[in-house]
Amino acid sequence: MRAWLAVCILASFAGGSALAQTRAPLELPDTLATVPFERLTDKAITEDGRRALAIRPGEWKHAETEHFVIHFFRTFIAAPVSVEAEFYYRYILADLEASQKTRTFAGSSGKTHIYLFENREDWVEFRKAAFLESWTGAVHIDGALFVPRYPEFKWKGNALGHEISHLMVNLFVGTRLPLWLSEGYAEDVSSRGNSAFYRARGYLTRPMELMAPGSIPLARLTSLTAYPPEAEIKTFYRESRALTAFLSRGGDKAHFLKMFTAMAQGAPFSLAWKEAYGSRWLSLDAMELEFKKSLEQNEN
């Protein structure tokens, strides 16, 4: 597997936000200043970036924000992304309790490139060229983000925030998270971030409810090194997010960050969990029992 490949499932699987308008919302911009490619401050294009730019070559436009270079076709699609991306950058940085001074991991120089696909045909073409699973809804590969943004959908979900989460963890914490924790944290923080983004714009919104555990036992979930079969993908993402949320909010944020940082830097789950939570739970079985009870209460 290529370094730093992390995916977001299709929007119908992802955990976005429940939205209701409470006042006139602050409108997102529909204009964005374009920059000729040769004048970008960061022109480092990855192999998959070249695959993206080979789709409808000559039609791509380019823009920059403080932390991102955005490649796109139509300005009204990219302009809101320029605001959202910077919001997620700061939201996730704060959630990780990180500092830009700690941005020392590989790929930390320069800006992050975001490639936006505005129709399914272009996304399918890229997905095949990049050898991605058919259920992939967005992806972070080697420090670059590839995200569909279809104009027919008013609410774009949390895919952008999900991929920015993978980016932020790699830049500020470490690059060796296990699959469940990488995807679970990305789903959880992006769902909360998506909700916060729209609350700031006049909507009464909250993250989607956590789902009760399904058919993946904790021992298997925490030992997966590859994505499960497609029939289990929805369950995998939901359970990973639920366990992450349980440990980070129900189990104390400071202890969670201790475990999270240790695992991002290569520590095995059993050791990192014991160091962080050993004084709270006598065993993983005891923690799993409390975890399942918390979700069952959430359903009732």
Give the start-to-end residue ranges of the domains of the chain: 6-299
Across the range 93-110, mean pLDDT stands at 68
Asked whether the predicted pLDDT for residue 282 surpasses 80, the reply is yes
Number of continuous H segments (helices) and E segments (strands) in the chain: 10, 8
Residue 1, classified by CB atoms within 10 Å of its CB into exposed (0-12), middle (13-18) or buried (19+), is: exposed
The pLDDT assigned to 6 comes to: 66
CA gyration radius, the chain: 19
Residue 74's pLDDT is what?
Answer: 96
Question: Could you report the per-residue pLDDT of 197-219, keeping only the tens digit for each?
Answer: 888 877 767 666 666 556 788 89
φ/ψ bin of 2: left (φ > 0), alpha (ψ from -120 to 50), beta (otherwise): beta
Give the pair of three-digit tokens for residue 238: 């939901």
pLDDT surpassing 60 at residue 18: no
The pTM assigned to this predicted structure is 0.88
- Superfamily of domain 6-299 in CATH is Collagenase ColT, N-terminal domain (3.40.30.160)
Q: How much is the average pLDDT of 251-261?
A: 90
**How many angstroms separate the first and last alpha carbons of the chain?**
41
252: Cβ–Cβ under 8 A, 6 or more apart, which residues?
280
Q: How far is CA 126 from CA 35, 52, 80, in A?
A: 23, 6, 22
Helices (H), the chain: 47-53, 75-95, 120-129, 159-172, 179-199, 218-221, 230-245, 253-264, 269-277, 284-299
Give pLDDT tens digits for 124-177: 999 999 999 999 999 999 999 999 999 987 767 889 999 999 999 999 999 999
